[in-house]
A and B are shown apart, each in its own frame.
Chain A
């Protein structure tokens, strides 16, 4: 019915064209399946939930050069001014800013250093009792800091803080068996009692080995270089951001306010390289598929023009139009299957290579399967047009020139 045998023999007579097509299909399958996997990986990374209302949050830096001021007092004044603004929900000084790509991390332990004990990498924020509200993060259990638990100091040696609020991810990693609430963990030799556990919130580095481990510590050391986080009321962020510099300078002028950036903007910047990679790969595979489709299209057209007489003769001998179309579809399917077989092998090899040399996970077989099916249908689609044209070749052609 499918006349595979004669088609195969005909193919053997024009091997080069078939081999070229087969190679194109194989390479295309290899590239597309691997690229699709990387793209999917990046999309998941780009769209991940961070735990913050990024659209409403922004940060700014304060660099104080005036020496005639008590920084702690000044920052308290600044914070109250910020919180009182009509467009602002909450504001807090924060030692580092989430998603920004810069911050501090350390290992948090179950025993005080230098004793050896379980040790977990954790990003930490020095922040006051307004921190959670400012970042819009909910507590799952326990409580927030009270005002008198927050240590505000100008002295770098003063370290009498003794409580912390940590994320659920960190709690589970430190205490996989039991509830972390009420337990004591150690930041160096400093004991911190866990008084609250928060919903997921990301640390400063989304590409960190432990991006979900975050600890909030109620310790405000006022430095000449400080960062503030502000959560605006929905839709009012732009207006608040515009006025922030003049408002802050009005409070005290011997300082520089800069880097006034939205949290979403910081995240975009941190992710810019990944977005670029994703875009370039999408462009690459789209054009690649188009080029391959055009290649198949062109080659079929060429084959048809070579076989015009042959097709005419077949039609004259009684072949239906559908038989002609079938012929080309089956021929293409044959080439394509071999090409896909090679393509699957090539895709696996390429995936293996990428995994060996780069930090890319193993290519799941489903990506190869889906790509193969899609390439197969694409090739059928590319052949369909020329095949229909071939079917319309008039039988009289065969009789005209012999």
Chain B
């Protein structure tokens, strides 16, 4: 029966090509516009590490005195001070935790083959790779002992390995970073991230760093952050040691908490940590405040999906509603014109339900064709987005979910638009039309 209905729909489509084409066009434009903005929204808000996102928690501490405000929703600074990061890293719990900072080096080899260039680097403790699911092609991460002793070792990206060592196994080789030599201990696999969710406030759209080095080198080599550092009170900072002891926040800190018990335990630990620091004159607020946010909460908190994008998604759905009204009007015209034919069908024994279904199949077909055309239009739209905004190069694309949902949204829209006309036409009283023929 469905095939028969489809056949009828196709015949009807061909009988009134202009109206049918207009309807397909209306739905295609609506879908094109909606999918363009929805795709960007979808890619930005997508969970970057679905199987683990609820176990990884960003740690925030309320270090500021009473009365000081921050621009975050809950007034807590986004990053930690160096001393807090160091203390929390040396804490007994949890098993896996990472303190880190973004910086950069000039990179060169002990030969003239490669012209010196600048690379972004992440100073991090070793659990980083395990926690954020980074895999290695060669070698692996530095040891905890190397971390503690600020050993001059480095993990490099595949891209950098290709550039410096032509993609060969480079474990044990030396790289010069700012005039010091470092030994390569690992090469990581390609790590395509649309969004650097592990460090959102220091260039969330920048690509993943090419160099990873022990966190302890910050102190040893007096490395400055290439990200944001913020202070909230006047401090007389004259040298690097002052900075490490200051209340400026510039370190990101994550903890892996696999179970609710672990989370509660860690929360208790943080409270007692704040109480203990209070005795030393820090954390002067009455109530100890900290915050643990998992990956998705952290992205939400940092407003990863831009306001503009949310507005566009809203407006484009309203646009789709206009298209829907348009299609509804055209369908009314088309179906009602066909009333005499329906009268005959009804007289020959078709039930109301069959007539209704037949017309719904017809609109669903229109929706399907419109949806396909809409995907094409959305691709054009996304191409435009990519061209005018570099940062969206990875984000302005349609993944499988979006490709599948385009026809689904199109068909749903068309069926909603088709319900009323189909109902009207199936109510046709056969007698009237039989008489006049």
Q: Is the CB of B150 closer than 8 A to any CB of chain A?
A: no
A58–B78 alpha-carbon span in the complex (Å) = 33
Q: Which of A273, A291, A358 contacts B326 (CB 8 A)?
A: A291
The number of inter-chain residue pairs (CB within 8 angstroms) is 139
Q: Is the CB of B310 closer than 8 A to any CB of chain A?
A: yes
A258–B36 alpha-carbon span in the complex (Å) = 35
Q: Is the CB of B315 closer than 8 A to any CB of chain A?
A: yes
CB atoms of A291 and B26 under 8 A apart: yes
- Beyond A65-B176, A295-B326, A298-B22, whether A284 also contacts B315 by CB under 8 A is yes
Within 8 A of B (CB), among A333-382: 354, 357-360
A283–B179 alpha-carbon span in the complex (Å) = 52
Q: Is the CB of A38 closer than 8 A to any CB of chain B?
A: yes
Please, which residues of chain B bring their CB within 8 A of the CB of A269?
Answer: 390
CB distance from B380 to the nearest CB of A (A): 10
CB atoms of A24 and B325 under 8 A apart: yes
Q: Is the CB of A114 closer than 8 A to any CB of chain B?
A: yes
Within 8 A of A (CB), among B230-264: 233-234, 236, 238-239
Please, which residues of chain B bring their CB within 8 A of the CB of A287?
Answer: 29, 33, 319
Please, which residues of chain A bring their CB within 8 A of the CB of B388?
Answer: 272, 275-276, 279
Please, which residues of chain B bring their CB within 8 A of the CB of A23?
Answer: 321, 325
Among residues of A, the one whose C-beta sits closest to the C-beta of B32 is A287
Q: Is the interface of B mostly helix, strand, loop or mixed?
A: helix
CB atoms of B234 and A188 under 8 A apart: yes
CB atoms of B389 and A27 under 8 A apart: no
A302–B33 alpha-carbon span in the complex (Å) = 27
Among residues of A, the one whose C-beta sits closest to the C-beta of B333 is A302
A292–B29 alpha-carbon span in the complex (Å) = 12
Among residues of A, the one whose C-beta sits closest to the C-beta of B316 is A284
CB atoms of B238 and A157 under 8 A apart: yes
CB atoms of B326 and A256 under 8 A apart: no
CB distance from A300 to the nearest CB of B (A): 10
A330–B315 alpha-carbon span in the complex (Å) = 31
Stretch at the interface among A28-36, A79-87, A214-222: A28-36
Please, which residues of chain A bring their CB within 8 A of the CB of B385?
Answer: 276, 280
CB distance from A313 to the nearest CB of B (A): 19
A206–B176 alpha-carbon span in the complex (Å) = 37
Q: Is the interface of A mostly helix, strand, loop or mixed?
A: helix
CB atoms of A256 and B116 under 8 A apart: yes
Q: Is the CB of A210 closer than 8 A to any CB of chain B?
A: no
CB atoms of A279 and B384 under 8 A apart: yes
Stretch at the interface among A14-22, A88-96, A123-131: A14-22
Q: Is the CB of B106 closer than 8 A to any CB of chain A?
A: yes
Please, which residues of chain B bring their CB within 8 A of the CB of A21?
Answer: 325, 329
Please, which residues of chain A bring their CB within 8 A of the CB of B322?
Answer: 24, 27-28, 31, 288, 291-292, 295
Q: Which of B106, B234, B323, B329 contacts A256 (CB 8 A)?
A: B106
CB distance from A83 to the nearest CB of B (A): 25
Q: Is the CB of A224 closer than 8 A to any CB of chain B?
A: yes
CB atoms of B315 and A65 under 8 A apart: no
Please, which residues of chain B bring their CB within 8 A of the CB of A280?
Answer: 36-37, 312, 385
Please, which residues of chain B bring their CB within 8 A of the CB of A233?
Answer: none
CB atoms of A35 and B315 under 8 A apart: yes
Q: Is the CB of A299 closer than 8 A to any CB of chain B?
A: yes
CB atoms of B118 and A258 under 8 A apart: yes
CB atoms of B311 and A358 under 8 A apart: yes
CB atoms of B389 and A16 under 8 A apart: no
CB atoms of B108 and A156 under 8 A apart: no
Please, which residues of chain B bring their CB within 8 A of the CB of A113?
Answer: 234
Q: Is the CB of A294 closer than 8 A to any CB of chain B?
A: yes
Within 8 A of B (CB), among A275-308: 275-277, 279-281, 283-284, 287-288, 291-292, 294-295, 298-299, 302
Q: Is the CB of B420 closer than 8 A to any CB of chain A?
A: yes
Among residues of B, the one whose C-beta sits closest to the C-beta of A17 is B329
A310–B435 alpha-carbon span in the complex (Å) = 22
CB atoms of A63 and B319 under 8 A apart: no
Q: Is the CB of B138 closer than 8 A to any CB of chain A?
A: no
A360–B315 alpha-carbon span in the complex (Å) = 15
Please, which residues of chain A bring their CB within 8 A of the CB of B325?
Answer: 20-21, 23-24, 27, 295
Q: Is the CB of A321 closer than 8 A to any CB of chain B?
A: no
A360–B307 alpha-carbon span in the complex (Å) = 10
A397–B22 alpha-carbon span in the complex (Å) = 29
Q: Is the CB of A193 closer than 8 A to any CB of chain B?
A: no
CB atoms of A255 and B106 under 8 A apart: yes
Given contacts A279-B388, A284-B316, 12 further A-B contacts (CB under 8 A): A20-B332, A256-B118, A258-B117, A258-B118, A272-B389, A273-B391, A280-B37, A283-B33, A284-B312, A295-B325, A298-B333, A359-B307
Q: List the 8 closest pairs (A to B, CB-CB), nearest first.
A: A113-B234, A302-B333, A295-B326, A277-B308, A65-B106, A276-B389, A256-B106, A65-B179
What residues make up the interface of A, taking CB atoms closer than 8 Å to B? Answer: 16-17, 20-21, 23-24, 27-28, 30-31, 34-35, 38, 61, 63-67, 113-114, 156-157, 188-189, 224-225, 254-256, 258, 269, 272-277, 279-281, 283-284, 287-288, 291-292, 294-295, 298-299, 302, 354, 357-360
What are 18 residue pairs bridging A and B, where the CB atoms are less than 8 Å apart in the complex? A24-B322, A31-B322, A65-B176, A65-B178, A157-B238, A157-B239, A273-B391, A275-B389, A276-B388, A276-B389, A276-B392, A280-B37, A287-B29, A294-B326, A295-B326, A298-B329, A358-B307, A358-B311
